Amino acid sequence: GRWGTLDPDQARREARRELCLPDDDACTAEQLEALSDVTRAKVYQPSPRSGVELLAQSVLRDPVWNDRLVRRSEEYLFLANQVPRQPATRWFQSLTPASETPRVVTSIDLDLQRVVRLELERTLAENDPVLAQAIVLEVATGRVLAVDALDNYEMSGFLPTMHTFTPGSTMKAVVMTIALDEHVVTPTDQFRPFGGHFNVGTREIHEAEGQKKEQPWVTAAEGLAYSLNGVLVQIGLRVPAETLRQRFLDLGYAQYPKSGLGGERAGMIPQLPWKPAWSHASVCFGHEMFVTLWQHAASLATIVRGGEYLPLTVVDRIEQNGKGWDLPRANPRRVFGREACEQVREMMMLGAREG
């Protein structure tokens, strides 16, 4: 994470919020003095601005820990010795140590984190991309086991929550799951790939090079396994635009994930109404929309998990003085039926074997 200090104006705003004080005109002299003291402390005290340290600070500020954690500062005891008409002297007597610093235990697996960093470094060296990101999840719980990002342009912020990108064909798994769950398609339905030249109105939907385009007909399952844009557009157009967009929102797209790790971007889904040949067709293969890695990983994990959405988490528990408290987990929220998710997983296995 990144550390820094607050500028005076921001420090004063935070101090005012912390002390629950009104505007200066409505404050008493004592309140203004307290506000100045807290502001001065905040200006000169380094604090986390992003990363796990910021998340840990936020977690420990929850009032639930007031009765669980000991927050005693270090204290010194002095003997004051005053001789008449002589300067006062103080003699050190004893030290009362501060309470044990609470330990914030994360879900990060350090060995796995090192492997991810090495892979990202290798990717930058061999392929020279603008940036490379990676995230590893425990699918059943949404716990983040490793997450990292590297770039060649010294971008600011935590990229997995800040950098937005066009998801492209990785969005096809989501669109297929929605279509199956809405019962507008089955895995065995037949579609024409049109030799890689499917037309929606006046727009021609092209395919990437090397796609399976020569067959006159393919199943819906093959359309996803071979990542055929034209087939996914035909399937996605069967889902009403309002329904498709709402399903995206249900998965957390176009919303701040509230990871607690610092700066975030919400991404973008086109506003309704959608023209069938443009926005509606484009989102079916992941275009005309922007997502972050954090959002997209949570969405895809929902499919693999069997249809229940869980926010991604980094902090597991808090420990102090031999005691420990597990942080409560969010209740899973069902977004898809289990059958649709199982069908998409089978399609992806087909893609791994031959797609």
- R_g (Cα) of the chain, nearest Å: 28
Whether pLDDT at 253 is above 60: yes
Q: Which residue has the tokens 């819906």?
A: 220
> What are the φ/ψ torsions at residue 319 (nearest 5 degrees)?
-130, 145
Q: Which residues pair with 164 in a beta bridge?
A: 292
> What are the φ/ψ torsions at residue 165 (nearest 5 degrees)?
-145, 165
Q: What is the pLDDT of residue 213?
A: 55
Within 10 angstroms of residue 104's Cβ, the number of other Cβ atoms is 19
**266-280 pLDDT per residue, tens:** 999 999 999 999 999
Nearest partner of 340 among 237, 246, 224, judged by Cα: 224
**191-239 pLDDT per residue, tens:** 999 888 899 999 999 988 766 557 889 999 999 999 999 999 999 999 9
Q: Which residues pair with 146 in a beta bridge?
A: 136
| 6 pLDDT tier (thresholds 50, 70, 90) | confident
Q: What does the mean pLDDT of the chain come to? A: 93
- Lowest-confidence range among 146-160, 202-216, 317-331, 336-350? 202-216
What is the rounded average pLDDT of the residues 22-50? 90
Q: Where are the beta strands (DSSP E) in 25-71?
A: 47-48
Q: What is the pLDDT of residue 211?
A: 64
What's the pTM value of the predicted model, to 2 decimals?
0.86
First and final C-alpha spacing in the chain = 40
Q: Which residue has the tokens 């969405």?
A: 299
On whether the CB atoms of residues 317 and 327 are closer than 8 A, the answer is yes
Q: Which residue has the higher pLDDT, 298 or 83?
A: 298
Give dist(CA 209, CA 280) in Å, integer.
Answer: 23
Give dist(CA 344, CA 355) in Å, integer.
Answer: 14
User: In this structure, what DSSP letter does residue 253 have?
Assistant: T
Q: What is the pLDDT of residue 324?
A: 96
Instruction: Classify 46 as helix, strand or coil.
Output: coil
**155-165 pLDDT per residue, tens:** 888 899 999 99
Q: What is the pLDDT of residue 355?
A: 77
Scored b (16 or more CB within 10 A) or e, 127-160 reads eeeebbbbbbbeeebbbbbbbbbbeeeeeebbbb
